[in-house]
């Protein structure tokens, strides 16, 4: 800026003379505030060479309220954050407890509940694989699940 031109800012309704450095810092902060408070939150018109509006650029930032008013749906099918944290914690605890099972107990639980992409196999299928009656598998499963439940309830 020119050497002989005096710069001013307005503070408390009064015009205050300032240096060029203070002037630039002051107006940069005002411009930055306006950017964060308004510019990134509003859509901007796109104009052609004649000045006619041809469309709009979306806002860079938006509120969830405005998006929901516009028809966006942000409902969470998984439940609340607390529910998700609880399920993750329970899964972690379950895997820790599964490590305490014997090898045969762990194999039975993994086959019945975690094989076949998480769907597990039937008691009858597992019984055929290891060569024991299905009723034996059912009894073992009940005993192991009761053991797991007891451990998990105690650790709560």
- In the chain, what are the domain boundaries? 1-37, 42-75, 81-155
Mean pLDDT lowest among 63-72, 100-109, 112-121, 133-142: 63-72
Q: What are phi and psi of 38, to 5 degrees?
A: -130, -50
Amino acid 82: pLDDT = 82
Tell me the pLDDT tens digit for each residue of 9-60.
888 889 999 999 999 998 898 888 887 777 776 777 888 989 898 887 777 6
Given CATH 1.10.10.10, say whether it is the number of domain 81-155: yes
Q: Are 9 and 23 in contact (CB under 8 A)?
A: yes
> Quick check: 134 pLDDT over 90?
yes
The model's confidence at residue 130, banded by pLDDT at 50, 70 and 90, is very high
The DSSP element (H or E) to which 142 belongs, if any, is helix 134-155
Contact 126, 108 (CB under 8 A): yes
Region at 13 (left for phi over 0; alpha for psi -120 to 50; beta for the rest): left
């Amino acid at each position: 800026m020119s050497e002989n031109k005096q710069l001013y800012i307005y503070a408390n309704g009064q015009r205050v003379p300032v240096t060029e450095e203070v002037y630039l810092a002051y107006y940069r902060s005002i411009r930055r505030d306006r950017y964060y408070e308004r510019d990134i939150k509003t859509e901007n018109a796109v104009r052609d060479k004649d000045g006619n509006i041809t469309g709009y650029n979306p806002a860079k930032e938006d509120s969830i309220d405005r998006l929901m008013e516009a028809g966006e749906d942000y409902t969470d099918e998984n439940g609340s954050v607390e529910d998700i944290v609880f399920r993750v914690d329970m899964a972690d605890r379950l895997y820790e407890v599964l490590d305490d099972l014997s090898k045969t107990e762990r194999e039975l639980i993994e086959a019945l509940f975690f094989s076949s992409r998480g769907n597990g196999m039937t008691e009858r299928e597992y019984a055929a694989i290891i060569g024991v009656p299905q009723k034996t598998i059912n009894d073992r499963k009940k005993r192991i699940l009761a053991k797991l439940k007891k451990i998990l309830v105690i650790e709560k």
